[in-house]
Amino acid sequence: MLKAFSQLKVVGQAAHGAEALELIAEYLPDVVLLDIEMPEVDGFMVLKKLRKSNLNAKVLVLTMHHSATFIKNIVAAGADGYLKKDSDQEVLLNAIEQVHKTGAYYPPETTHLVLESLKEKNKPVEVTPREKEVILLIVEGLTTKDIAERLFLSKHTVESHRQNILLKLEVKNSAELVKYALKKGWA
């Protein structure tokens, strides 16, 4: 398909990741179109290995996946661009050119997805309503056993809640938690 475009030259095609790495080292292409779903050494491994090497080919990832999680992970692994496999020819050509010229191509809807999920990450720490109940009972001085009885939960669950709360609020122990809750005006 790509051979039809006169401005591009296809220097190699690989059927699996190991072959892709060999061909990239041999032909030093400007841009690599990388499929993530390959047998044995998959595209993600190829990407990681490429980034550890001195090869500086730009990498445009082609995939069926389009979750924010997936995209964040390939960006973190060093991809220069991302494209859904079912994108049409014109989009593909434009993406290759963009990656080559500017070093980056992400479809607009993708940028939106990733930015939204970054925003999520920077949200202030939220405790769940159940965690709040547990915190208030800890502030009242109740033991794990008492809290369990009061909330109709097992001791095991209350203890897990307590540990999750300490981690989430970055406090060391129940005493610090009580201080935190009072400072926040929760109790």
Tokens coding 35: 């499929």
What is the four-CA torsion angle of 84, 79, 118, 128, rounded to 10 degrees?
Answer: 80
Cα angle 42, 110, 19 (rounded to 5 degrees) comes to 20
Q: Quick check: 111 binds another protein (CB under 8 A)?
A: no
Contact between 128 and another protein by CB under 8 A: the answer reads yes
Q: Which run of H or of E encompasses 155?
A: helix 155-169
87 binds another protein (CB under 8 A): no
Give dist(CA 187, CA 73) in Å, integer.
40
Q: Does 42 bind another protein (CB under 8 A)?
A: yes
Q: Is residue 13 near another protein by the rule CB under 8 A?
A: yes
Only segment of 50-58, 93-101, 160-168, 177-185 that touches another protein (CB under 8 A): 160-168
| Part in contact with another protein (CB under 8 A); list of ranges 52-60, 101-109, 148-156, 172-180 | 148-156
Stretch that binds another protein, among 52-60, 97-105, 156-164, 177-185 (CB under 8 A): 156-164
Work out whether 183 is an interface residue with another protein (CB under 8 A). Answer: no
Strand order in the sheet with 31-35: 31-35, 58-63, 81-84
Does 70 bind another protein (CB under 8 A)? Our answer is yes
Nearest to 78 by CA among 114, 51, 104, 49: 51
Residue 126, phi then psi, degrees to nearest 5? -115, 135
Rule CB under 8 A: choose which of 22, 26, 37, 176 binds another protein.
37
| 95 lies in the site for another protein, by CB under 8 A | no
Residue 46 near another protein by CB under 8 A? no
Query: By the 8 A CB rule, do 134 and 181 touch?
Result: no
- In the complex, the residues that contact another protein under the rule CB under 8 A are 1-3, 10, 13-16, 33, 35-39, 42, 44, 62, 65, 67-70, 73, 85, 126, 128-130, 152-154, 156-157, 160-161, 163-164, 167-168
